[in-house]
Structure 1
Amino acid sequence: MNTAIAFILVFGALVFFHELGHLYFAKRAGILCREFAIGFGPKIFSFTKNETVYTIRLLPLGGYVRMAGEDPETIELKPGAKVGLLLNEKEEVIKLVLDNRDKYPNARVIEVERADLEHALTISGYEEYEEELQTFRVHEKAYYVSGGEEIQIAPYNRQFGSKSLGQRALAIFAGPAMNFVLAFLLFVIIGLMQGIPVDKPIIGELVPNSAGEKAGLHQGDVIKSINGTGVDTWTNVTTIIRKNPGNEMTMELERNQERIVLKVTPTAEKEGKQEVGRLGVYGPVEKSLLGSLKLGAEQTYKWTKLVFVSLVQLVTGQFSIDALSGPVGIYNLTGKVAESGFVNLLGLTAALSINLGLFNLLPVPALDGGRLMFFLVEALRGKPIDRQKEGLVHFIGFALLMLLMLVVTWNDIKKLFL
């Protein structure tokens, strides 16, 4: 598989599931989600559905869901501004035309006296040559029209900050949580494709030209004994083989209800400082949905524990920052793994998904964990922290993360030339 295609698929899956968690629970809470983006920078592709613009952007450095109220609204109607109003059959404003009003000849133009598009949802002003103040009701899903773009207004009840602490926390936590869900699903798929190892003394697949194949072993052979010692598990088989590198052994088998005796000699291979025996045979596997679900849970737990320990070691300085990989390192690794097969690529994607989920839960400003930390402080003190102060902390955290990204990327580039 082409490295670029493999990387795009892996990166896209990680970011899509992460942001999908944010989007789903934000929409469930009634928050207006303006954009669902994969990548940063200039748009490559976009379409609009159910109030949200879905975009793919140029730089594969993450993604985001832009929720109303998280950033200050970019459009503000001030007294004296002239605005064109398009009304529906109920005399509600459905579009507020801020410029190029000549393209909307049916719009009623007013000079704004006051506007409340968050709470009261009204706009008042004077039409040309009229002295009476006119007040119009604004539809809760009305749009601004500016620069050829239509931007939906965000009443306060559709903004992130209007929701309960629990709803906001869930919308943020759901992103990392979906990365664990993705990892679990991928491990389940791997189990369904490859089967689940079972501890039975039965020959599974054989490596071509291996010692086992040359000795005459067949897939499905049931091993009864080795050198006269009875075996009843695959663990017994591998233990005996590993202890006999280069030693001829007598293996008693059952094949098609017949007893067969073969002479096998494990090859001697180095494993660390010791020499172990290898036959080039795999143990048996069984394919089942229940077994695959169990495998998915076990592998997700195993990798979560492994990544968590690694993050703790990084924070405590037990290993160097040079061990981290950024986009360049992941791109290179993805290419190598993709060459070894689709199943291995699924395994890498699952492992990276857990990495992304845990990393985002770190209590670091600008990460999801940092935002959850602010929610915890809000719960303890009974009121939210000043938005400007919180925004400054997140900005500093984001700048430090970008600096870390530059350092890691530089290390990745240097490794390519070593």
Structure 2
Amino acid sequence: MITTIIVFIIVFGILVVFHEFGHYIVAKKSGIMVREFSIGMGPKLFYYRKKGTTYTVRLLPIGGYVRMAGGSDDEEEIKPGTPVTLKLNDQNIVTNINTSKKQTLFQGIPLIITSTDLEKDLWVEGYENGDESTVKRYSVDHDAIIIEEDGTEVQVAPIDVQLGSASLPKRMLTNFAGVFNNFVLAIVVYTILSFVQGGVLTNTNKVDVLPTDSIAKDAGIRSGDKILSVNNHQTDNWTEIAQQIQPNAGKKINVKIQRDNSTKELSLTPKKQKSGENTIGVIGITQSLDHSFKAKILSGFTQSWEMTKRLVLAIASMFSGHFSLNDLGGPVAIFATTSQATKFGLTGVLSFLAFLSLNLGIVNLIPIPGLDGGKLVLNIIEAIRRKPISENTETVITLIGFGFLMLLIVLVTWNDIQRYFLH
């Protein structure tokens, strides 16, 4: 259990951080201010500021986020009635605004905020030193720092560095960058996996035999043999072999093999093995490996492409046929599957990480408001209309999408708990 928890945290963390790093790097290159890049969620443990971005590490090691200036998660900073402390430079322009009661970093001017404009004209107004007879106004520097309630320092976000001020192509690239990074991660991990396991799994009817506990080995099958048919059903590749063997758990089957130029027919009985909620038949064989250097180098692309096709077909079948919550999986399902992946060691974890990365990338492209795909659809609509959707309309659409996603997450999580722990 401890190993599973550690692997789950590492895998989930790599997935989310890699995804968010895509948004981060393209936003920075596009002139969009990234106010915060967080690893983890919840209360902050520590932070570091550099070149306008605050990098935070937070308590809960589950994911992370990128907070872009003017983005949907960039909240209003200072509300009227908030007590703050101002630090001024030699020109009496505000360089620091302390809103945290936990921080007394500098001796400054105490002010009760009555109004602010930290986007266009850059000023704050309020009652100085408790004197409510006069409202004082101070100009705010373009790169001023706000110390938030939890003590985190972030830079103010003037309109010129906000997400909405970037050109449409730059915003589209920023929205797509997270998904792009997930595909890059999958390609890299699949390539590493091929070197770790010594070759690339091939989808042919040539098989390798497990060295121990192998029914196939006991029946006379050897590594390098080709399985030509199972129960007289022709098998030209690994997928067809699995389709014929797995449904026959505990049932005797006839297998025709080819070794060099000779053929032989064998009889054997696949043993029963649990796979999620199902029981499948296995005989102790694996896909053969292509050990060539070229295959290993190209494996990241080829395996990512093959898995992408399978995932897209699986998602398409959900929308075209009978939908079930069992077709979906949330963090609970990922945790349960992580437990199975760790049993296969490093290769199992790497394969699972690449699969999840592709899954996250493809799901994020679904045009649901709140996902990257939904944001891209709004970008496309803006391109067609040649003007952006009104802020109120976009807010309503985003809230509806967010509400739908939250409801789906709750339903999927409860369904996963029932499937994996209460069944």
TM-score under structure 1 length normalisation: 0.74
Instruction: Classify 1:338/1:143 alpha carbon distance in 2 versus 1 (closer, same or farther; 3 Å).
Output: same
Matches of residues 64-103 of structure 1 in structure 2 within 5 Å?
A: 64-70=65-71, 71-75=74-78, 84-87=86-89, 92-97=93-98
- Counterpart position of 1:189: 192
- Counterpart position of 1:308: 312
- Counterpart position of 1:160: 163
Structure 1 position 286 matched with structure 2 position 291: yes
Q: Which moved more, 1:208-217 or 1:155-164?
A: 208-217
Whether contact under 8 Å (2:13, 2:64) holds in the other structure is: no
- Counterpart position of 2:120: 119
Alignment deviations for residues 163-193 of structure 1 (CA, whole Å, 9 cap, x no partner): 1111111111111111111111111111111
- Counterpart position of 2:232: none
Structure 1 position 331 matched with structure 2 position 332: no
Other structure's SS at 1:53 match = strand
Residue 359 of structure 1 deviates from its aligned partner by 0.8
Q: State how far apart, in whole Å, the 1-side matches of 2:210 and 2:102 are.
A: 75
Whether contact under 8 Å (1:92, 1:139) holds in the other structure is: yes
Q: State how far apart, in whole Å, the 1-side matches of 2:374 and 2:215 are.
A: 55
Instruction: Classify 1:137/1:332 alpha carbon distance in 2 versus 1 (closer, same or farther; 3 Å).
Output: same
- Counterpart position of 2:43: 43
The one of 340, 353, 359 aligned to 1:355? 359
Structure 1 position 140 matched with structure 2 position 142: yes
Residue 110 of structure 1 deviates from its aligned partner by 8.0
Residue 143 of structure 1 deviates from its aligned partner by 1.4
Q: State how far apart, in whole Å, the 2-side matches of 1:393 and 1:248 are.
A: 58
Q: State how far apart, in whole Å, the 1-side matches of 2:355 and 2:307 are.
A: 7
Letter of the aligned partner of 1:19 in structure 2?
E
Residue 123 of structure 1 deviates from its aligned partner by 6.3
Q: State how far apart, in whole Å, the 2-side matches of 1:402 and 1:281 are.
A: 40
Q: Which moved more, 1:192-201 or 1:22-31?
A: 192-201
Whether contact under 8 Å (1:34, 1:52) holds in the other structure is: yes
Instruction: Classify 1:379/1:198 alpha carbon distance in 2 versus 1 (closer, same or farther; 3 Å).
Output: closer
Instruction: Classify 1:83/1:315 alpha carbon distance in 2 versus 1 (closer, same or farther; 3 Å).
Output: same
- The aligned length equals 384
Residue 136 of structure 1 deviates from its aligned partner by 6.5
Matches of residues 194-233 of structure 1 in structure 2 within 5 Å?
A: 194=197, 195-196=199-200, 207-208=211-212
- Counterpart position of 2:18: 17
Listed as ranges, the gaps of 5+ residues in structure 1 are 224-233, 254-260
Q: State how far apart, in whole Å, the 1-side matches of 2:8 and 2:167 are.
A: 38
Letter of the aligned partner of 2:414 in structure 1?
W
Residue 347 of structure 1 deviates from its aligned partner by 0.9
- Counterpart position of 1:382: 386
Letter of the aligned partner of 1:43 in structure 2?
P
Whether contact under 8 Å (1:44, 1:56) holds in the other structure is: yes
Instruction: Classify 1:72/1:319 alpha carbon distance in 2 versus 1 (closer, same or farther; 3 Å).
Output: closer
Letter of the aligned partner of 1:2 in structure 2?
T
- Counterpart position of 1:56: 58
Percent identity between the aligned chains? 33
Instruction: Classify 1:134/1:191 alpha carbon distance in 2 versus 1 (closer, same or farther; 3 Å).
Output: same
Root-mean-square deviation (CA, aligned residues, Å) is: 4.6
- Counterpart position of 1:226: none
Alignment deviations for residues 351-382 of structure 1 (CA, whole Å, 9 cap, x no partner): 11111111111111111111111111111111
Residue 318 of structure 1 deviates from its aligned partner by 3.6
Whether contact under 8 Å (1:198, 1:286) holds in the other structure is: no
